[in-house]
Amino acid sequence: MSGLIGKKIGMTSIFDENGKNIPCTIIEAGPCVVTQVRTEELDGYSALQLGFDDKAEKRTTKAEQGHFKKAGTSPKKKVVEFRDFEGDYQMGDQINVELFTEGEFVDVVGTSKGKGFQGVVKRHGFAGVGQATHGQHNRLRAPGSIGAASYPARVFKGMRMAGRMGGERVTVQNLRVVKVIADKNLLVVKGCVPGHKNAYVIVEK
């Protein structure tokens, strides 16, 4: 699937032709360099390995330096493989934001913001305030009962409880490309994408 590595710049809003305010996310998509070409004969599958965002040589291992040197490019911070990439590309080729067109739909993959240890109200959307049912007596944000006593004498797997939240790989599907600003390598998509500002994201067709 064709796509690019990008960086989440932030959010804004624009007005469409009907005067409706649309919340949008700005992504710096590319330019990405083809650092390796996978083929059916050698690797058993076809894919393109893309690199994005320059990295200091002193922070790059010798093996990585050799890998990027073979592609004729400087070391990159983020490297991602895209299977069955449409088009014929060779090592060292650059792919920019013009891969996308306005009006088409894309999927964006990123890592959600880490929230740390959170309770059931924030983590699972429990009501909290309300009738004191299921054993929840006078503690408004407490989870209530987590199971019966002597039988089954354990807590079932998957029970929604407090715990660490966020910091997970999240895919947001079918976001419409509102604008492509080719000279600045910017992609404006409708809606929000996971991650903090300057977080790496993967934009797939």
CA distance 36 to 82: 11
Domain edges within the chain: 3-115+170-204, 119-165
Residue 136 pLDDT: 59
Is the pLDDT assigned to residue 134 strictly greater than 80? Answer: no
Superfamily grouping for domain 3-115+170-204:
Translation factors (2.40.30.10)
pTM: 0.84
Query: Which residue intervals of the chain are DSSP H helices?
Result: 40-43, 62-70, 120-124
Chain segment 71-129, per-residue pLDDT in tens: 888 999 999 999 988 888 888 889 999 889 999 999 999 999 999 999 999 999 988 76
Triad 43, 47, 48: Cα angle to 5°:
120
Chain segment 142-165, per-residue pLDDT in tens: 888 898 989 999 999 999 999 999
